[in-house]
Amino acid sequence: MQKQAQKRSREQGAILITATIVIVVMLILALPFLVKLSAQYRTTEKSQDSLAAFNLAEAGVDRALWEMNRPFAVTENGILDMNAEGNGTLGPVGEQVGGLTGTIEGTVTTNLGVTPNTRSIVSTGRMPHIGNLTVDRTVGVSMEKYYKSIWDFGFFADEGFYVRTNLFTDSYDSRRGAYDMNNRGNLGHIGTNGSDENAFDVDQGSSSSVYGNIAAGVDSDPDNLTNIINLPDDGIFKSYDADAEPGSRRILSAPFEMPSVDLYSLPPRQMFDTAYDFSTWFTSAPSTSGPLLSSQLAAGIDKGGYSPGKGSFTLTAADSGVYTSFSLNKSNVTVSGHVALYVTGLDGATGQFYMSNNSSVTIAPDSSLTLILGKTTYYQANNTTINNTAAPENLIILGTDEFTGAMDYKCNSANKAAIYVPRAEFTVTNSNVDIYGAVVCRYFSFPVNINLHYDEALGNLDYVKGGIPYWKLTGWRERVGGE
């Protein structure tokens, strides 16, 4: 019995040794597969992290481009931090990707030395990988600046905006017909490049209504915005849409650019199958900032003064030209066809644009008026109208750098126009004035009640380039290493 027990013990020991050897052999055989599987897992994990980092880099570009192409800065949760020259940083911001937190950061660089200006964004996405190591992917994009319309914004003043009593502003779309209860919207934005205290000042207008936003310049301190945009009550912000948030105080995303009006280089205006080219008016390019010289005018363009007297009169394309004065005294003038009038003094003299009480300028169907104001005064008296029936795009009023005075409107004056007078003040000296269209000027001064109705259709009127700049992509590539 003892011998049998010893024999079974030896057999059990042999089995244990054999099993151990088999396990060791299997482990040796499996080890390369385990190593390979581990390497594949790490490769897969790195590939996933790399794809996530790449998506973060592209998301940074998309977000930055979205912020750049908005008229108002994104002051909360914005990814951009840029100066007025268009240089700055992107991020860093954290983004959740699955159970990990990735980051987006980069730089923005603008070249103001070329026309049009160019801009580049370098965006890097980073994902945590092993320990303190990260997986990084970087993309670079190039962009080019472009403009939609100088009247894309609505009502804008370069230096500042003053209203002593009540302000009303909203929008409508002339493509849908006249302004009425069924044609009105919340795009009645008002803005200024000014960033000092009271750059936008509504003094007493507790009954004001603003169906839109009010924006101050890019250098405005967001913590001091209530003093920069001085309002009697934030309740003046309203909305026609019960489901939409009313407007608010804002800061511009970029300086509103107000270039000089250069008639010689203006593109021909396409209107009613007619192209009007101002360069044919001159024998040589006139100065954009100095006086217009009579010697620079082509034959037949100098029309002298226009003062038809009382009664009804018609202006046709043949009447287009340069006028040293344009004076209506209880005159009713109808514009028939495409008419262009440049009112200015010649050789340093000062011209005059004047409309007395009960005078009017009416634009006939399929007709338009382009009015250029040079070195001249402008006065529109009580009970006068300019283009009170046609759409605002049919009346364009431009001011050269010589027009530095004021467009002065009196009581019950009205017009529908796209107005761009970058060096002039736009002022209304008595109440009950409705302005339909858009106005861009140096300074707004309204010591009385004023109603401003922005025509959304003017956002497509790109006859004059300027205003809020926009950016479009011209190139994209992934950046590898230190390039």
Q: What is the pLDDT of residues 355-364, one digit of tens each?
A: 999 999 999 9
Instruction: Write down the pTM of the prediction.
Output: 0.86
| Whether the predicted pLDDT of 254 surpasses 60 | yes
Domain containing 283 equals: 155-460
Return mean pLDDT, the chain: 88
| Whether the predicted pLDDT of 186 surpasses 50 | yes
pLDDT digits (tens, 9 = 90+) for 325-373: 999 999 999 999 999 999 999 999 999 999 999 999 999 998 999 999 9
Do 215 and 245 lie in one domain? The reply is yes
| Whether the predicted pLDDT of 158 surpasses 60 | yes
Query: CA separation (Å) from 473 to 62, 65, 66, 142, 276?
Result: 11, 9, 12, 6, 32
Do 135 and 180 lie in one domain? The reply is no
| Whether the predicted pLDDT of 40 surpasses 90 | no
For residues 175-193, average pLDDT? 95
| Whether the predicted pLDDT of 269 surpasses 80 | no
pLDDT band at residue 16 using 50, 70 and 90 as cut-offs: low
Q: How many domains does the chain have?
A: 2
pLDDT band at residue 272 using 50, 70 and 90 as cut-offs: low
| Whether the predicted pLDDT of 37 surpasses 50 | no
Q: Identify the pLDDT of residue 415.
A: 84
Give domain status of residue 40, yes or no. no
Residue (of 303, 287, 392, 389) closest to 340 by Cα position:
303
Distance, in Å, from the CA atom of 339 to the CA atom of 317, rounded to the nearest integer, reads: 5
pLDDT band at residue 63 using 50, 70 and 90 as cut-offs: very high
Contacts of 3 (CB under 8 A, 6+ apart): none
Do 112 and 217 lie in one domain? The reply is no
- What is the number of alpha carbons within 13 Å of residue 14 lying toward its C-beta? 6
Q: Identify the pLDDT of residue 389.
A: 83
Give domain status of residue 289, yes or no. yes
For residue 472, give the DSSP letter. Answer: E
* Residues 324, 345 contacting (CB under 8 angstroms): yes
Residue (of 93, 96, 101, 97) closest to 63 by Cα position:
93
Question: H or E element: which one contains 56?
Answer: helix 2-68
For residues 66-75, average pLDDT? 91
Residue 50 Cα to chain centre, angstroms: 36
pLDDT band at residue 14 using 50, 70 and 90 as cut-offs: low
| Whether the predicted pLDDT of 414 surpasses 80 | no
Do 160 and 142 lie in one domain? The reply is no
Give domain status of residue 36, yes or no. no
Give domain status of residue 74, yes or no. yes
Do 99 and 180 lie in one domain? The reply is no
For residues 45-52, average pLDDT? 81
Bigger pLDDT: 280 or 272? 280
Give domain status of residue 453, yes or no. yes
CB-count exposure of residue 270 (10 Å: 0-12, 13-18, 19+): exposed
Query: CA separation (Å) from 320 to 37, 260, 302?
Result: 84, 22, 9
Q: Identify the pLDDT of residue 376.
A: 97
Give domain status of residue 26, yes or no. no
| CB atoms closer than 10 angstroms to residue 28 | 9
Residue 268 Cα to chain centre, angstroms: 24
pLDDT band at residue 10 using 50, 70 and 90 as cut-offs: low
